[in-house]
Chain A
Amino acid sequence: QKEVEQDPGPLSVPEGAIVSLNCTYSNSAFQYFMWYRQYSRKGPELLMYTYSSGNKEDGRFTAQVDKSSKYISLFIRDSQPSDSATYLCAMSAGRGSTLGRLYFGRGTQLTVWP
């Protein structure tokens, strides 16, 4: 079993839809939870960052972490064609400079059609 599981999709939705992306994990030591977005032929870029459990909102994006269930989610409201990308969840148990040792899900490919 991989430490981080993510449904690869693909997911295709109409513009304006609410998108829900999810990951589960098995390592209870994970404390830092991230969502990265990766456009085709580009490197991943950080979208959302959450420490421990709870919700975090940034514009149209909301990240949720439920450590008791080992489950994280990313919601995208009013989705736009420009949101079409692969979304990767990532987690870390480290501190300081080793925070960067991230465990990634395999990514969910999202297409938002106009």
Chain B
Amino acid sequence: DSGVTQTPKHLITATGQRVTLRCSPRSGDLSVYWYQQSLDQGLQFLIQYYNGEERAKGNILERFSAQQFPDLHSELNLSSLELGDSALYFCASSARGDSLANTGELFFGEGSRLTVL
């Protein structure tokens, strides 16, 4: 168990709908990352938050947004869903703090599997 909790584990919805994925990082971890894993693209970085602020942005669509709350949990909002958005969405958190001692180890949750029909 990585200590990172993601809900829901599975989600089936229709095109055009909006969903929210939730992530609770490991206790004390300040950074939260969202990754998308699909068969054709592999694991793709979406966005990173550090202590409530957006720190880095990757290949995240404009239809997607995220935020990190004061209690450090994070939500990824996916709107106007398309068939191609079907994927596994992983949340990860990193070791405490923000220093070069950070080994870059990410602790991944078990993912939220989104199916868009």
Residues of A within 8 A of B (CB): 32, 34, 41-46, 49, 88, 90, 92, 94-107
Q: Are A97 and B30 in contact (CB under 8 A)?
A: yes
Chain B residues closer than 8 Å to A88, beta-carbon distance: 42-43
In the bound complex, how far is the Cα of B4 from the Cα of A43, in angstroms? 10
Chain A residues closer than 8 Å to B105, beta-carbon distance: 34, 46, 49
Q: Are A44 and B43 in contact (CB under 8 A)?
A: yes
Q: Knowing A43-B4, A102-B45, A104-B42, say if A97 contacts B98 (CB, 8 Å).
A: yes
Q: B96: shortest Cβ distance to chain A, in Å?
A: 10
Chain A residues closer than 8 Å to B100, beta-carbon distance: 95-96
Q: Are B33 and A100 in contact (CB under 8 A)?
A: yes
Q: Are B30 and A44 in contact (CB under 8 A)?
A: no
Chain A residues closer than 8 Å to B103, beta-carbon distance: 49, 99
Interface of A is mostly: mixed
Taking CB as reference atom, which chain B residue is nearest A105? Answer: B42
Name A104's contact: one of B43, B56, B104, B111 (CB within 8 Å): B43
Is B82 engaged at the interface, CB distance under 8 Å to the other chain? no
Q: How large is the interface on B (under 10, 10 to 19, 20 to 34, 35 or more residues)?
A: 20 to 34
In the bound complex, how far is the Cα of B110 from the Cα of A43, in angstroms? 5
Taking CB as reference atom, which chain A residue is nearest B58? Answer: A101
Q: Which of A43, A90, A95 has the largest count of B CB atoms less than 10 A from its CB?
A: A43
In the bound complex, how far is the Cα of B30 from the Cα of A107, in angstroms? 28
In the bound complex, how far is the Cα of B31 from the Cα of A97, in angstroms? 7
Name B99's contact: one of A46, A96, A100, A103 (CB within 8 Å): A96
Q: Are A32 and B42 in contact (CB under 8 A)?
A: no
Q: Are A42 and B110 in contact (CB under 8 A)?
A: yes
In the bound complex, how far is the Cα of B94 from the Cα of A34, in angstroms? 14
Q: Are A99 and B94 in contact (CB under 8 A)?
A: yes
